[in-house]
Amino acid sequence: MTPNLEEIWVYLSTTPLLGLTLTLLAYQAAFWLYKRAGFHPIANPVLISVAILATLLLLTGTPYQTYFDGAQFVHFLLGPATVALAIPLYAQWPRLKAMAGPLLLALVAGSLTAALSAWGIGALLGASRESLMSLAPKSVTTPIAMGVAERLGGLPSLTAVLVISAGIIGAVAGRSVLHRLHIQDHAVRGFAIGIASHGIGTARAFQVSEQAGAFAALAMGLNGLLTAVSLPWIMPWVERLFAG
Amino acid sequence: MIAALTLLLVFQLVGEVIARGLGLPIPGPVIGMALLFLALLLRGGPSEDVRQTAGQLLQHLSLLFVPAGTGIVLYGDRIAAEWLPLLAALFLSTFLAIAVTALVLSALTRKSRNPASGEIGR
């Protein structure tokens, strides 16, 4: 490498420009592939973007923190985007109101299944306690999950990765699970994906239909609220029950 | 678009202040979403500008998860050591949660649906 190129690299690796631009480029490439694949769920744009960026970071030996210093501008937009979910929710309000009772029951069933089955399967297969407590909130939106994991004694940053993995899994494979169960209604499909796969499932649901997206957004919000208040006292109780 | 973004940020800020001020375990943006939803109910719907900006933001919601997801590079060692329980728990639990939610909701709504009018909604 000539000194000149090295200087450019040193400069770029200290500004946020590179991390930000790479994130957008990787996403453009991933979205192009997703479109070429006819929006097939397996070509999930989050999955492909993360694969591209993780490979780049590992190959160039760039620390994650350096990358994140740039990518944080994209990460920040999660806040206003979460607030913006109120708009599709409002659009579906008449139908939501009509289904309020069933939605709440499905929420409790789905939320408990998501947390307890993750803990149980992980515990059966011998995961460490830190990993188990990072797994338990894996179905809710990243900021809530990180807060809950911290309270339970998990690792917040590991939780972020597990949350996003659960999101990608639901977005990629949710359709075939629902197909096998002969669930056609977009409202039901969206709600189920939102419970299990939070924002990434919601993003996928919006690409299918606005109705599916709105129900996914509602499920994500409700599951976030329920998990934030319930898991911090359920998990210690579950642990005591099975420690004996 | 700028006015709409400002509105979203103001609701996020208010949500954040409420969450911290009251020591709630719920993130500020989720409270902001609930408040904006209430405001829309009171006002009778969003303006065209807000509706369009929200639509554009949500259309590429996937992009916003990429930076946090790339954090996977920090956990190579732990994933190598615990890949089986982590992967099994992630896959099975996600499938179970989707199936249980969908079956419960579909069983409950089928009963309440009026057979004469068929589908609720459209």
CB contact under 8 A, B33 and A82: yes
Its sign, for the CA torsion A20, A79, A132, A156, is positive
Chain A (183-222) residues lying within 8 Å, Cβ to Cβ, of chain B: 183, 185, 187-189, 191-193, 195-197, 199-200, 202-204, 206, 211, 213, 219, 221
Q: How far separated are the first and last CA of chain A, in Å rounded?
A: 61
Task: Give the nearest chain B residue to A151 (CA atoms).
Answer: B25
SS3 A44: coil
Please check whether residue B23 touches A, CB under 8 A: no
Closest of A164, A146, A140 to residue A222, by C-alpha:
A140
- Give residue limits of the domains in chain B: 1-59, 70-122
| Model pLDDT, residue A143 | 78
CB contact under 8 A, B66 and A183: no
Chain B (51-110) residues lying within 8 Å, Cβ to Cβ, of chain A: 51, 53-55, 57-75, 78, 82, 84-86, 88-106, 108-109
Q: Write down the mean pLDDT value for chain A.
A: 91
| Model pLDDT, residue A59 | 95
Model confidence at A244, pLDDT cuts 50, 70, 90, reads low
A interface mutation test: which of B94, B103, B108 has the most A CBs within 10 A? B94
Position A135, amino acid: L
Q: Which of B28, B53, B101 is opposite residue A192, by nearest beta carbon? A: B101
State the virtual CA torsion across A51, A76, A165, A14 in degrees, nearest 10: 40
How far is Cα A126 from Cα A116, in angstroms, rounded to an integer? 15
Q: How far separated are the first and last CA of chain B, in Å rounded?
A: 30
How far is Cα B11 from Cα A215, in angstroms, rounded to an integer? 21
Q: What is the pLDDT of residues A1-47, one digit of tens each?
A: 556 878 887 777 778 899 999 999 999 999 999 999 998 888 989 99
How far is Cα A47 from Cα A161, in angstroms, rounded to an integer? 12
Predicted TM-score (pTM) of the model is 0.83
Residues A80 and B12 sit within 8 Å (Cβ to Cβ)? yes
Q: What is the residue-wise DSSP string for B56-107?
A: HHHHTGGGGGHHHHGGGGGGHHHHHHHHHHHHHHHHHHHHHHHHHHHHHHHH
How far is Cα B81 from Cα A108, in angstroms, rounded to an integer? 33
SS3 B117: coil
CB contact under 8 A, B101 and A90: no
The C-alpha of A142 sits at a distance from chain B's nearest C-alpha, in angstroms, of 9
Please check whether residue B14 touches A, CB under 8 A: no
CB contact under 8 A, A54 and B29: no
Residues A19 and A69 sit within 8 Å (Cβ to Cβ)? yes
Mean predicted confidence (pLDDT) in B84-106? 97
| Model pLDDT, residue B120 | 45
The C-alpha of A1 sits at a distance from chain B's nearest C-alpha, in angstroms, of 26
Residues A195 and A138 sit within 8 Å (Cβ to Cβ)? no
Model confidence at B112, pLDDT cuts 50, 70, 90, reads low
CB contact under 8 A, A83 and B53: no
A interface mutation test: which of B48, B62, B74, B109 has the most A CBs within 10 A? B62
Q: How many residues does chain B have?
A: 122
